[in-house]
Amino acid sequence: MSQPQIVIVPDKDALAEVAADMIVEQALAAVAARDRFTIALTGGSTPRPVYERLATGERAARMPWERAFVFWSDDRAVPPDDDRSNYKLAHDALLGRIALPQAQIQPMFANGDDLDAAARRYAGVVRTLVPGSPPRFDLVLLGMGPDGHTASLFPHSPQLAATDELVVATPPAPLDPHVPRLTFTTTLINAAANVLIMLAGADKAERVQQVIEGPRDTERLPSQLVAPGGGTLTWIMDQAAASKLSKRYD
Ligand code: 6PG
């Protein structure tokens, strides 16, 4: 992996603008190189304004939606119309507002009794539609929680070591919403051509400093496991989240 790129922007608005532009550029580059763009969306609160910007105006017009294939890097085991669903978030903010054929949208449905079977099913879908072994997404979007988790890979959880799988089920999350989930493993995340981690807010500042500048402690700080071997890693954060970083990243 090349050195991670750290992008610091003034506030959440700027984060949404710059991240949306990055996604458009990645999409155009992927389509130019490979005639398709495979992206895994993330959940949480940070991506909503990013998704909204991709759904409208010049960005929506520039996005090669007709060549885009959309997946999720994690989702919660709730119905797709539940407000806690990452699918619903992306649908309301983006996918329901653009003309993207349903066949190009692969929801990570985690609603059902057998989550291990759901994880295997989703891994099969990824293997079928995303080229590479392991499958290589053009872009995986992630966030980071205040505890240092990313996707649904939580501190000290056995899922951190599930490197033989592409997608795994997790028990109820230690953070709200306390529901089981499905998540990409580090194997699938780190096979990506590009990973973009988006985060905002002062409540993340201490943790992001530890993840980026602190000693390696991946059990406590799962976000440190994100390291796409043959790809790029970009962190984008607002000033509040970056306020405890000790170095300058220009
Ligand atoms: C989820 C996530 C999760 C999220 C972080 C950050 O489904 O909860 O995908 O990893 O990205 O918790 O969430 P915020 O953007 O809300 O801080």
Q: Whose CA is nearest to atom 11 of ligand 1?
A: 143
Q: Whose CA is nearest to atom 9 of ligand 1?
A: 43
64 CA to middle of ligand 1, Å? 26
41 CA to middle of ligand 1, Å? 11
Strand partners of residue 6? 235
Sequence-separated (6 or more) residues with CB below 8 Å from residue 45: none
Strand partners of residue 58? none
Enter the DSSP assignment of 105: B
Name the nearest CA neighbour of 41 among 66, 61, 68.
68
What pLDDT sits at residue 1?
62
199 vs 25: CA distance, rounded Å: 20
- Rg of the chain over CA atoms, in angstroms? 17
Average pLDDT value for the chain: 96
Residue with tokens 């096979």: 191
| pLDDT tens per residue across span 31-75 | 999 999 999 999 999 999 999 999 999 999 999 999 999 999 999
Sequence-separated (6 or more) residues with CB below 8 Å from residue 180: 76, 77, 110, 115, 169, 170, 171, 172, 173
* pLDDT tier at 183, thresholds 50, 70, 90: very high
> Residue range 175-190: average pLDDT?
97
| pLDDT tens per residue across span 213-245 | 999 999 999 999 999 999 999 999 999 999 999
Helix axes 86-93, 47-54, angle to 10 degrees: 40
| pLDDT tens per residue across span 119-159 | 999 999 999 999 999 999 999 999 999 999 999 999 999 99
- Chain centroid to Cα 127, Å, comes to 18
Report residues whose beta carbon is within 6 angstroms of any ligand 1 atom. Answer: 42-46, 74, 76, 86, 143-145, 149-151
* CB neighbourhood size of 2 (10 A): 9
52 vs 50: CA distance, rounded Å: 5
Q: Whose CA is nearest to atom 3 of ligand 1?
A: 151
